[in-house]
Structure 1
Amino acid sequence: MLTDAYGVILSVNPGVEPHSGYPPKALIGRRITCLDVDPLHGNIRLAVAHCVERLRPWRGVLLCRRADGRLIHQDGVFQPLGTGRDEPLRLLVTLHDVTDLCQQAQYDHALLQRFQGTLAQLPGVVFQLREDVRGELDFLYLSDGMGVLAGLSPSLVMQRADALLERMHAEDRAALTTSLAQSSVSLEPWILEFRVETFDGLRWFEGRARPSRRRDGSTLWDGLMLDITARKQEEQRTQQLVSTDMLTGALNRRAFFDFGEALRARAARQGYAVPLAMLDLDHFKRLNDTYGHAVGDLALQAFAATCRDCLRPYDLFARIGGEEFVVMLVDTPLDEAWGVLDRLRTTVEAIELEMADTTLRITVSLGLAVLPPEGSLDLALSQADQALYRAKHEGRNRLAGAPNVPRVRRDARP
């Protein structure tokens, strides 16, 4: 179509009728805005004004109404002509029906909106993570779950991945680097459990993703992060039940050997010895036979509570038999161990159990041995047990050392 500077149609091509529903003669002399769904304020009026004022082309999608009332989308191009001083301004208008494309785009947009809504309701975070050839990480996509689970804006983390990574536990950040490197090389699925400091405290997440290599050498992971805090808490409760002696709250025999072997391996790597002691309540069988098992249980509980008060939270303290206990003193020199254990002995000696008509006292005998850096836990326990036997033989309520443990004393640790 050709219009004047006011948008009045001067001529049209024969194809205008099937396109607009108007016969060519019906359009000549009318303003082109008659084709707009909003003749007074629509985009056709704005397009004409743009060309007249700026003498530059305009292009955009127009919503038009056919003669039969049906709405169609048109890709419109308005080109100013005759912009010389003595030439009247004309506009060459080309319209192309893009209704099908627009309807498909609208459908795709609605589908995307529904998909985004579904992602927002998932109990996790859908993500796409990229590692470039320099090893730098950035998130190309994060669903809204990031804000719900971690209190971080998805757009913030996409702008700066460290906004999330800096909140990871230090050990887990190192595990992330290692596991991503392995997955990048092997292109095997990535799986990692890690901790993140969130607005409501430390939470556990599990990440799972599949990697793919891009042409530029970068690696993409498409995956999902789930909040597994409740599961980890339940696992910890279960582990505590499995590893704890229910009567005294001390570690049980199985847990002691698990943790003890881990401590032995750590000490071997760092090249230091670990003091280890066997403890046995004196005359416990006589106490049980005289006052009954209920009183015996009370004595064991009081003894265990006293030991925990005298030891640090990370020292290993376990019940490995009826009235037999074991202690491994972490990061404690041998000369300090003598003082720590003797102080424990005297504290136990001060325990008073109030019965109906009497006050009971208990004492403990201890045997001290040393687990050397390359030593055997079983052998150290055997040596501590022999030292315990000697403490019993020498009169009970005392601390005895194995033959290879010199009696050197200094002030005990606080």
Structure 2
Amino acid sequence: MSADHVERAELESEYEALLSFMYLSPVGIVRSDKDGVVDMMNPLAAQLLMPLVKDGSIENIFDSLASVAPELRNLVSSFQAERGPVCENHRVFVTQAKDGPIVLGCSIIKVATNLLMTVLSDISRQVAAERRARQTEAWLAGIYTSVNDFAFFTLDSGGRIESWNSSVERLTGFTEAEVLGRSLSRFYAPDAAVSHRSPEHIALTRDEGWHVEEFWCETKTGRRYWGQLLVAVLREVEGDISGYSVVLRDVTERKLTSDNLKRLLTTDHLTGATNRAHFFELAEAEIGRAQRQGRPLSIIMLDADHFKRINDTAGHQAGDEVLKRIAAEAKAVLRISDVVARLGGEEFVLMLPSTTTHEAMEVAERLRRAVELASIETGVGQLRATISLGVASLEDAASTLQELLAAADKALYDAKTAGRNCVRTLGGAPISAVNPATNERSLYRHR
């Protein structure tokens, strides 16, 4: 056998070994050039990426992940070494399933000047376990290091305060007569006193055995502090819960020192809106609460009309100013309990707890008008912009976040088909006329 035949046989053997390794691997593997053009992938990689592609075609790994991880392309382009790890276990929040978020771990290795190997694995369970562990560790650390910041008391089976001790007065300033028989809302700051929070806290404790939550509290003298509240089942009588133990902790100092880090992890750097990954976490939890309590919840999907034209004619900096103004106008019409998030590009989503379809349509219309009337200052002068909006609610037969977002996206498509700069709900129905004499923004923010 000639040397050429031997070399060819060795190459074929190596290629077959590579194929065997890729197809039998327990993780997704994608081979591409430095621009992301795929030339080989195993079935598991295709399975993990399929929810992200609309036409079922995975030709470019960066394009496939652009909607959830646009930073990957920049990570690769800025990697100057000839070979080596570009990123390791970079977390990508793909979407939300009924039982929790779908999170991929993504590692990219540059193996040659124009050759990348991308490894994908589903780490959803690991992320959920880490979140629970961090929560438990925070509580244990607090108990051992900050005992003086705690108040201990108990609730009866209906969630009313039934015991009092000096720790309660030391932390909150309230006397025994001022708290006995009251609900947990006794300690809330006025702007945190959402009507459903206290009974919902008890309901979650009954379901899970314990529950922890943080919010602004206020002492008897009016001092605001960031409170961390742990409620746990205290005792059971013949299988029925007859009481709860409560630990209330002042964690203001910890909150202030961690806010900057949290803002980096949860906020879109350009617009100040909630980022995509954090929105999915918030929305999944909020939908669960709404379903348990039988409360309405609505989603508004929106994006800027003709945004590519704005970027092409006025420049990307002007486009950035448009996006920032849209986020600012959205925050102005929303309540403190609502969420505005940037999903990517020019697309935003608003989450409105305790809000019906009709109420959400009115909010969407007020936001549409506010953006339409806004004069946006840019480096090339003042610009005008419009937005299209789609509304969907849990009452529209949606039971999961994925179904709710799909319904809102369909309504947004209907709004664009109808000519843009309008609001549509599932089925394409336009909003009815709103009385211009009504102070709708004030009514919504304080209802």
TM-score, length-normalised on structure 1?
A: 0.49
Bigger Rg over Cα: 1
TM-score, length-normalised on structure 2?
A: 0.46
